[in-house]
Structure 1
């Protein structure tokens, strides 16, 4: 079979990356990408993560945008950009002109002037402004629509509901005595804590959620809004110009010998397509050293016993236990009674029961007690997890009583609000914050995340049935990045942040298929949209295999000075450390690793060898690693675009 095209190896689609344009507005540095402003900084201090306009339909789906540039006047310390944006999907057709101006005296202004070309229902049309997660705990001042001022702070733990309402502007302290004021015009704005959805930001948006939605926007309706940003120093001794600094010339990753957590249990979901594992697939999955398989059971479904029997067989073949997600109906007693004879016959080895009930995000303590009465006799040492099969926000807003569960559970996916590579990377640090917040109401009980997926499996926020997908479109749950180098790096980042935050257990993806860690023997059902190689493993397989070697091991501290570009995970078992690093960017990165022993080996996974590593994972993993001597200044490596590297110590 021919090699995969370079961009397919990178991120699963043969599409060139979007152009990123560095900009300056006086003392401010920022980038322009596909109609958005990103990473607005004063020196090393990030002020705003992103400014953009969104069209969200009646089910909160973000309507894709096509950008048509009209003017790009880029100068050394200022810029003027004009473009037309077109949102067109199903019955929605909305266009707007974006005008972005950055002046040499450090002022930004972003305007949109739009018109609805059709009548449609919307939940939101307008600007969104993201303050970075690093604002947590910082002081701010809110100017409300009536001119009153409220003093506040950005929440440290994730706020279940909006921290600030009825906003005209928000000023926050960037650095001592340096304040940034963001002003909004054209609607009433409010803020939500986007970390509820793992976005690493606080989002200010319009229109207020207290108003009825979805709302009808009539054909011909015009929408005009603007956002502006301005800095001010409250001290003559601290002019804004003194905070200008150059970015580091090299990305550094520093290893600590401090143990921050135990490596979580790591497992997979059984494949949703229902095909049994082949002998080759079983042999390859055994390489991952998994601790469990998740299977979802619904007592009202006729194939429940078949699903359970197959899951048991696969768990036995892989030497794991089962994580059984039980989806009860309104009459839990009847469902549990129907399940009992099946459990008596199949006798699965169960590590944990995840208990869910249709019609509610979190089951009651009474239902949990009923479940235990019925199920404990089949596995007296099994654990019982309460929580949600929806997103963290549903758990945060519906916190269960800790006495009702042994473990607390929720799911994660990075694509509720944004879908580009940079946003998915940003979301990784947000995953760790969900763990820290969950700990605040778990009553000291362990926390499991099940499952972690690239895209949402269903939409708990939908207000009506989703639009059906045609046979020539990917299902909404499928993302081509699953089979790419980017997918491997993102998986590594997810393990890092969840493990360092103290997760007890993480369940990822599925076993086989385009939601899994390797492709089926029959190949992709839509190879033109998901161009995987039949029977080949996906690059993320190798990340899970490297981590699996440290089952029951320790997680050590490790930090990057530019975690949106390069990030890493440090593991140790039997006094032998391992470092896994990934390059999230489309450019090669020179990195320096500090804190390594004097002799190490390195195994790279990159665009050069990934095709071989996918087709012959056993051969790739058996190859001799490159030996490296580590000088006193640290080990310097070149990481190719979206590459990962596994660094292991050598016993001298």
Structure 2
């Protein structure tokens, strides 16, 4: 589900659409942040078109019209294009009292192969644990709940309708045009559960012929209960929840002296760039991913050894093998005395299969390797979650990778992935039963298509698919800080970000440090330092106070499209005001 790149990484501000009790944000083709009577209901409803390799054709809204004649109606004309395919669709959104209906009518102008076409619903991540009634096409109803832990497989299938209660209102979704099912997108750090069609149990891809049409509709209905109780009518639990979520009266965020966790060790990945690097104090390791082809592995290993020496860090070697016989020849290439960690993964299933693990264990032991042997997934948390039953119990640590753009490229979705990263880490720690985590590579875009049905990309396509223009922007530094803060948990020993240099790197090809490198370098040097507790919260603001020998050093980032001004104080000191522009970060001594 790798998306085609957008021409603008920072789109125009969303347009607020209001009709009766409904309000939503129109972001391109996405109906986002749907509210009823001021309360959140759904994360989004949007159309998607996937090609045969699960790549998402990029949408372009060509026309938007409004009709307020009786029933308020919004109409969008959307063209999807990318990867040699194109598609056209009309999206109609109708508001009528307590009903909101979205209709999709799409046509293929030419033949292409596709895995999915139609509407998807993104349910809010805070629906986790909420009861839901699922109705099948035949009318059978099943009582269930949105999963609290990240579900490895589809929690709901064979869906014609869904019903649940939220904020004193009963909501119902009805689907027509296809059979739907739900997956837990938190597996990929998306901040949503997704209900989509067509069921994955049906064969795919299918050939879509020129002129073929798809028609679907989703109707969201609200049935209000009695008026929501005011504070005087609330019970103790509701009053306590309100008290916890309320902002401090003086609107000042407070940094406590209590240490919550420690700055994890930070690493990065080898690159093909020739940029000369310098030593990064505190750097954990340099990841190098090696294929089982010995010639290609040798070509990738040589610059990685050079970069590791320049950075003053050991190697973290990840082998992608087709079978057990591939492991030994790659190990023969390695300077094992310079390798801190060693892992092996299936080149097509992306996890540490038992046969590969046994080969790595015996061959590494025979060669006298004394570092840490890693197991897990070289792709997403998804594969770790789904194949946790095959993970070796004697692994020294677990690993998995993160990218925020598996399903969507829009900046708001990239930002929303940050708290979901923490959730994947908590679930990985649960799966590993206390084994330490070495998370990474963490990259803005996917390093490869883990769900490809058509093999690997050629070199030119891979370069375009894996590189994001945001890499060199201030946004990447702010997002990096948010990610580090989210993954600062007991048990997370290290997190590896981006590549050392090049278009996906911390350092540009010409040797210029990126804004992200400035944050990375400072925090790498603070490895193991205490991270202090923060009381209060401002949406979109990241606060990361680190206790150092010289005092408290506060790292802050603004992950919103508007400037933020916030007052922060130490519990035993005065307040300081921080003014942070949109998508920027700052570092300042506190107190």
TM over 0.5: yes
Q: Superposition pairs for residues 332-343 of structure 1, below 5 Å? A: 332=325, 335-336=327-328, 338-339=329-330, 341-343=332-334
- The answer to whether structure 1 residue 554 and structure 2 residue 541 are counterparts is no
Q: Superposition pairs for residues 204-223 of structure 1, below 5 Å? A: 204-223=195-214
Q: Which residue of 2 aligns with 1:578?
A: 553
Q: Which residue of 1 aligns with 2:380?
A: 391
SS in 1 for 2:482: helix
Deviations 1:590-623, CA, capped at 9 Å, x for gaps = 333355653xxxxxxxxxxxxxxxxxxxxxxxxx
Q: Which residue of 2 aligns with 1:141?
A: 133
Q: Superposition pairs for residues 153-192 of structure 1, below 5 Å? A: 153-175=145-167, 177-192=168-183
Provide the aligned C-alpha RMSD in A. Answer: 3.2
**Contact 2:558 2:584 (C-alpha < 8 Å) held by counterparts:** yes
Q: Which residue of 2 aligns with 1:609?
A: none
Unaligned runs of 5+ in 2: 235-241
Cα 1:378/1:541, change in 2 over 3 Å? same
Shift of 1:21: 0.9
Cα 1:257/1:183, change in 2 over 3 Å? farther
Deviations 1:282-329, CA, capped at 9 Å, x for gaps = 1xx526x31111122345322645654543443344332221112334
Report the Cα distance in structure 1 between the residues aligned to 2:251 and 2:215, rounded to whole angstroms.
41
Cα 1:359/1:62, change in 2 over 3 Å? closer
SS in 2 for 1:537: coil
- The answer to whether structure 1 residue 20 and structure 2 residue 23 are counterparts is no
Between stretches 259-268 and 373-382, larger displacement belongs to 373-382
Q: Which residue of 2 aligns with 1:38?
A: 32
Scaled by the length of structure 2, the TM-score of the pair is 0.88
Q: Which residue of 2 aligns with 1:233?
A: 224
Q: Which residue of 1 aligns with 2:272?
A: 272
- The answer to whether structure 1 residue 375 and structure 2 residue 316 are counterparts is no
**Contact 1:322 1:348 (C-alpha < 8 Å) held by counterparts:** no
Deviations 1:249-280, CA, capped at 9 Å, x for gaps = 9997554544333322210111134x3x52xx
Q: Which residue of 1 aligns with 2:42?
A: 48
SS in 2 for 1:147: coil
Between stretches 305-314 and 493-502, larger displacement belongs to 305-314
- Specify which of 194, 201, 211 is matched with residue 185 of structure 2: 194
Q: Which residue of 2 aligns with 1:624?
A: none
Q: Superposition pairs for residues 386-425 of structure 1, below 5 Å? A: 386-399=375-388, 400-425=390-415
Q: Which residue of 1 aligns with 2:347?
A: 358
Shift of 1:219: 1.9
Q: Superposition pairs for residues 604-623 of structure 1, below 5 Å? A: none
**Number of equivalent positions:** 573
- Specify which of 574, 578, 581 is matched with residue 637 of structure 1: 578
**Contact 1:312 1:348 (C-alpha < 8 Å) held by counterparts:** no
**Contact 1:23 1:74 (C-alpha < 8 Å) held by counterparts:** no
Report the Cα distance in structure 1 between the residues aligned to 2:148 and 2:333, rounded to whole angstroms.
46
Scaled by the length of structure 1, the TM-score of the pair is 0.80
SS in 1 for 2:466: coil
SS in 1 for 2:160: strand
**Contact 1:91 1:119 (C-alpha < 8 Å) held by counterparts:** no
Shift of 1:645: 1.6
**Contact 1:253 1:567 (C-alpha < 8 Å) held by counterparts:** no
Q: Which residue of 1 aligns with 2:284?
A: 291
**Contact 2:16 2:26 (C-alpha < 8 Å) held by counterparts:** yes
Q: Which residue of 2 aligns with 1:300?
A: 293
Q: Which residue of 1 aligns with 2:259?
A: 259
Report the Cα distance in structure 2 between the residues aligned to 1:143 and 1:250, rounded to whole angstroms.
48
Cα 1:44/1:24, change in 2 over 3 Å? closer
**Contact 1:560 1:566 (C-alpha < 8 Å) held by counterparts:** no
